[in-house]
């Protein structure tokens, strides 16, 4: 093993990138690289980039400007700093990155991360661009973290189960940057989650660009659905909570809906992007479903799990979107009563069909975005207000803002601050919500800490049961024409696996 060298990985965009950044660090750890939080003292800086919208892609170049200065300063001190660009900008722009930012030593696409040790070694003497889709499965070669490292990363973890997309929505670069759909075999996912559980992880989010299109090989040799995979993963000792993201409405099959009905550990919170409330625009987007299909899925989901809350992604100003089309998106926000949602101005992406369609003026997009965000915020605030006085199961994750406080997540992913001893980190405890702030809930433990410290794998009460009160509030809220299905969310919080 070579001498210890420092590595800084900065992740942009979605959870897929967060997961990949960890795997890159784990793979390079065996080459003697030790992670550092700051780029200043790093010998290798990796920017793991996002290409979903122009703004995201441009961020990379401003970051590269900053890192270049660090590289130059280090060179004056006789120190060599290597800069690598990974992720979807790397895949989409390849050589162009080095033309625009000559300080970059290595460009590596998402399918080649397992080759990093070799690529980094070669980049010491030549510029390297590797954006191939190699025949081998990178997951077979990417290293996992040590037990200590997993412990240090906390009690929640992402696990990639699926990558790529075959849907080809006309606005989206994903099918081009991440390639065709690929699902990992069940046995490999289970083994990875068993290792995480062994190191104290309690909550796992299965991630994929199109996670509910999952069709990995099962132990019986047959392709398993996401619903079947969730059933299997729910049996792993120590794993108390499951989530998955991001889903496509047309892939919500019966087995997945049944998993929501049958698995108390599957959290009642679903990110199901709609993109537009207008059937005309959905067709132009090639979304392969209508608003009616989407609403029917929600009805089935709510029948399976009555305390389900939803979030979504919306695009405003897609080519051809009229005021009437846009109003349909506004209306559906109130109709579904989203827990929270991300909204974006349409951003033309090179090489995608919508980029060459007739564009909506920028000022129209900006104005629509503001109106949509207002509607989303209104729903979110109503949901948070509806949480007041209710008791939720909270997975305590880490120290909170103030001494003696811990922060955890509600079933709906809301951050909850609560006074509790550090010994409860990793436990799922009932917390009564007493105060609602714009980005957090504040609560108190609803049962004596001593008993909860002995809490084991499964929550003492399933989320459905512990949210019984909240469900009552839900019904009441709907009667009053408002909704409690909102959550504490901000842009930049990564919930969608693609952005
Ligand atoms: N412009 C704006 N938003 C986009 N998204 C994907 N592609 C684009 C684009 N070209 C949004 C979609 C998707 C989320 C991850 O990002 O809403 O669900
Ligand atoms: Fe695939 Fe989702 Fe992109 Fe559509 S929006 S092409 S479903 S990744």
Residues 369-385 pLDDT 10s:
999 999 999 999 999 99
Which protein residues are within 6 Å of ligand 1, measured from CB?
Answer: 52-53, 171-172, 273, 275, 313, 315, 344, 346-347, 349, 496, 498-499
Please, what are the averages of pLDDT over each run of 10 residues along the chain (499 residues)? 82 93 94 94 96 91 96 95 97 95 97 94 95 80 86 93 96 93 96 96 97 97 98 98 97 97 98 98 98 98 97 98 98 96 96 96 98 97 94 96 94 96 97 92 79 33 33 34 30 33
111 DSSP assignment:
G
What integer pLDDT is reported at residue 472 of this predicted model? 34
Question: Which pTM value belongs to this model?
Answer: 0.87
- The reply to whether ligand 2 has any atom less than 6 angstroms from the CB of 59 is no
Longest dimension (CA), the chain: 70
Lookup result for tokens 């009053």: 480
Query: What beta strand segments (E) does 268-404 contain?
Result: 269-271, 309-316, 340-345, 391-399
Residue 165 Cα: closest atom of ligand 2: 1
Using a 6 Å cutoff on CB, does residue 177 contact ligand 2?
Answer: no
Helix (H) or strand (E) holding 267: none
**Region label for 453, one of left (φ > 0), alpha (ψ between -120 and 50) or beta (otherwise):** alpha
Give the number of other CB atoms < 10 A from CB of residue 371: 15
Quick one: which of 116, 138, 111, 91 has its CA closest to 32? 116
Ligand 2 centroid–CA 419 distance in Å is 41
Number of helices (H), then strands (E), in the chain = 17, 19
> Which of 16, 493, 49 shows the shortest CA–CA distance to 207?
16
Each residue of 230-280: pLDDT tens digit? 999 999 999 999 999 999 999 999 999 999 999 999 999 999 999 999 999
Say if ligand 2 is within 6 A of residue 498 CB.
yes
170, 354 contact by CB (below 8 A) = yes
> How many other β-carbons are positioned within 10 Å of the β-carbon of residue 108?
26
The first and second tokens of residue 460, run together, are 């003492």
Ligand located closest to 354 CA: 1
For residue 349, give the ligand 1 atom closest to its CA. Answer: 10
Task: Burial-class residue 2 by CB neighbours within 10 Å (0-12, 13-18, 19+).
Answer: exposed
DSSP code for 460? S
Reading the block at residue 220, the tokens are 């019986």
Ligand nearest to the CA of 248: 2
């Amino acid at each position: 093993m070579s001498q210890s060298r420092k590595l800084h990985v900065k992740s942009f965009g979605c959870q897929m990138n967060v997961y990949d950044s960890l795997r890159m660090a784990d793979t390079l750890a065996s080459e003697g690289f030790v992670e550092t939080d700051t780029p200043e003292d790093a010998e290798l800086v990796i920017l793991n980039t996002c290409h979903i919208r122009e703004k995201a892609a441009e961020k990379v170049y401003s970051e590269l400007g900053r890192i270049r200065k660090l590289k130059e300063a280090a060179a004056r001190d006789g120190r060599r700093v290597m800069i690598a660009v990974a992720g979807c900008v790397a895949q989409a722009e390849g050589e162009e990155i080095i033309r625009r930012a000559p300080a970059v030593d290595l460009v590596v696409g998402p399918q080649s991360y397992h080759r990093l040790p070799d690529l980094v070694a070669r980049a010491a003497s030549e510029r390297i661009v590797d954006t191939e889709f190699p025949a081998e499965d990178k997951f077979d070669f990417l290293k996992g973290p040590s037990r200590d490292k997993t412990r240090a990363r906390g009690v929640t973890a992402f696990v990639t189960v699926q990558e790529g997309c075959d849907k080809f929505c006309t606005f989206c670069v994903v099918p081009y940057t991440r390639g065709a759909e690929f699902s990992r075999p069940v046995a490999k996912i289970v083994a990875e989650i068993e290792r995480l559980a062994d190191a104290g992880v309690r909550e796992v989010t299965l991630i994929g660009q199109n996670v509910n299109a999952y069709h990995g090989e099962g132990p019986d040799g047959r392709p398993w659905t996401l619903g079947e995979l969730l059933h299997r993963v729910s049996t792993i000792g120590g794993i108390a909570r499951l989530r998955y993201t991001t889903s496509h409405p047309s892939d919500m099959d019966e087995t997945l809906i049944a998993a929501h009905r049958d698995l108390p550990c599957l959290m009642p919170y679903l990110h199901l992007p709609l993109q537009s409330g207008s059937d005309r625009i959905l067709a132009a987007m090639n979304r392969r479903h209508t608003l009616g299909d989407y609403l029917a899925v929600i009805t089935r989901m709510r029948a399976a799990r009555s305390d389900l809350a939803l979030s979504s992604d919306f695009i405003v100003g897609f080519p051809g979107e009229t005021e009437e089309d846009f109003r349909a998106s506004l209306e559906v926000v109130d109709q579904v009563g989203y827990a929270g949602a991300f909204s974006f101005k349409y951003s033309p992406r090179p090489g995608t069909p919508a980029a060459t369609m007739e564009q909506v003026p920028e000022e129209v997009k900006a104005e629509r975005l503001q109106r949509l965000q207002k509607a989303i915020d209104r729903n979110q605030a109503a949901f948070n207000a509806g949480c007041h006085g209710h008791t939720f199961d909270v997975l305590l994750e880490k120290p909170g803002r103030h001494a003696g406080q811990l922060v955890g997540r509600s079933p709906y992913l809301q951050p909850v601050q609560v006074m509790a001893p550090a010994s409860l980190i990793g436990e799922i405890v009932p917390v009564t919500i007493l105060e609602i702030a714009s980005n957090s809930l504040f609560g108190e433990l609803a049962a004596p800490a001593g008993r909860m410290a002995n809490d084991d794998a499964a929550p003492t009460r399933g989320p459905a049961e512990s949210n019984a009160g909240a469900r009552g509030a839900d019904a009441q809220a709907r009667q009053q024409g408002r909704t409690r299905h909102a959550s504490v969310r901000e842009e930049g919080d990564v919930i969608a696996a693609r952005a």
